[in-house]
Structure 1
């Protein structure tokens, strides 16, 4: 697999608990750095873990600000450290939904996000550095796509936010790591747009994944309990997303 690792930038859903951040992950494979979501408070950890620079690409699963707000901060960093000092028009590749782009435009219309980012529709398969990116539509309050990134010898799948769906088994099929929404403590009544930890374990097992990383915890969630609930359904290794946790792949 080469030099492959995933670092948690943020693990909370909705809003960040003190000392934490909302959704964000940095996936590194053979030196290529791709960000998966960048919600409230996640940018500072991204800059810490990139260290010597900025990422090579960004993937945003959907437009909710706990998944995309800090992409605006990344855009500013790109503009003031890459473009302006060097008189460059280079843009950072961004794979996202149309709604995400509208949110970024509303936050910072100048420079326009399309001047900062080379925007690609997340719904179309793409080559992202060493990875093949495939997106899977999943049930949520707004259009959300789970993403599967595959390179020789490595597959990482990430749900974004999702309700129960058989598509989750295809998203995570035989993956080395599935990063999965585990928001609810108990299943709510009515239409389902988010998962419990138990359901995350179920779908990781259906997928035949090797490891499961639970994330998107509602503030106040007992994370040890969530992991125990996931283990009732999934026999592989269950990890709990914690800010700055790095998982070797």
Structure 2
């Protein structure tokens, strides 16, 4: 399994950056996770829109799924449109994005597959387990494995035992860390700080922790410094770059 990060901003993309968007590849199969704002141009710099084999969306906030719309347009309006794109998501999570477009060709470009708490599904070469995690809207954390490694991903979520179990002994925990230290009262229990993210990674025994969904304009070094106070090692900030192997 190889992971390519396209962005790591939370809420909106800072200048020259993108919100979260992650491509997992194995044996020529490409799974796109949470195509948020400004992800598509970065994806298209790496592969053609038709090369995406499936999408998983953790929840319906647009910084996690807005670029599903232009991805579907790029596929539907191609000279030789590919087969409908399977999109795995909680019930209703992508309805608002799909409603942006009245084009019949676009509506025919997607095959919606409901994903719910406790589901175990096979998507190409990947085994995917979903677990409900606390957020402002229904959100699913993911555990994605192949025979060589495991990636756990929180979507957006406050600290929760279910995330610790989802990330148990994972090779990488990709975890929302909107704030370095304190989480504002209105988000308490529904979003994480870098401190809380690192604490959950430690509790899970994850081999590596990558902080993502950082508040735009804040320095990544502040998030890393906050996480380091927990004693966690091997913590990084998810940043765009070449594909990286997950596991052996």
The residue aligned with 1:65 is 62
The residue aligned with 2:158 is 163
Kept in 1, the 8 Å contact 2:141–2:152? The answer is: yes
Residues 1:234 and 1:126: Cα distance change in structure 2 (over 3 Å): farther
Range with bigger deviation, 215-224 or 106-115: 106-115
Q: How many Å apart are 1:163 and its aligned residue?
A: 0.7
Kept in 2, the 8 Å contact 1:201–1:232? The answer is: no
The CA distance in 2 between the partners of 1:41 and 1:23, in whole Å, is 9
Residues 1:175 and 1:87: Cα distance change in structure 2 (over 3 Å): closer
**Equivalent of 1:31, from 28, 32, 43?**
28
Range with bigger deviation, 147-156 or 233-242: 233-242
Is 1:97 aligned with 2:90?
Answer: yes
Range with bigger deviation, 237-246 or 209-218: 237-246
- Residue deviations 1:74-118 (CA, integer Å, cap 9, x gap): 10111122xxx3476x21111112232311222113237652112
Kept in 1, the 8 Å contact 2:50–2:75? The answer is: no
Residues 1:87 and 1:182: Cα distance change in structure 2 (over 3 Å): closer
Kept in 1, the 8 Å contact 2:73–2:106? The answer is: no
Kept in 2, the 8 Å contact 1:62–1:99? The answer is: no
Q: How many Å apart are 1:180 and its aligned residue?
A: 0.3
Kept in 2, the 8 Å contact 1:45–1:244? The answer is: no
Range with bigger deviation, 95-104 or 215-224: 95-104
Range with bigger deviation, 175-184 or 113-122: 113-122
Kept in 2, the 8 Å contact 1:47–1:54? The answer is: no
The CA distance in 1 between the partners of 2:104 and 2:145, in whole Å, is 33
Q: Size of the alignment, in residue pairs?
A: 242
Kept in 2, the 8 Å contact 1:147–1:159? The answer is: yes
The CA distance in 2 between the partners of 1:121 and 1:98, in whole Å, is 6
- Residue deviations 1:21-65 (CA, integer Å, cap 9, x gap): 111111112322111101110111111122595211111100000
Kept in 2, the 8 Å contact 1:213–1:241? The answer is: yes
- Residue deviations 1:175-213 (CA, integer Å, cap 9, x gap): 111100000231222542110001110000111111111
Kept in 2, the 8 Å contact 1:105–1:112? The answer is: no
The CA distance in 2 between the partners of 1:50 and 1:113, in whole Å, is 20
Is 1:140 aligned with 2:135?
Answer: yes
The residue aligned with 2:102 is 109
SS at match of 2:198: helix
Q: How many Å apart are 1:243 and its aligned residue?
A: 2.6
SS at match of 1:149: strand
4+ long deviations beyond 4 Å: none
- 5+ residue gaps, structure 2, are none
**Equivalent of 1:206, from 197, 200, 203?**
203
SS at match of 1:228: helix
Q: Normalized against structure 2, the TM-score is what?
A: 0.91
Range with bigger deviation, 59-68 or 91-100: 91-100
Kept in 1, the 8 Å contact 2:133–2:140? The answer is: yes
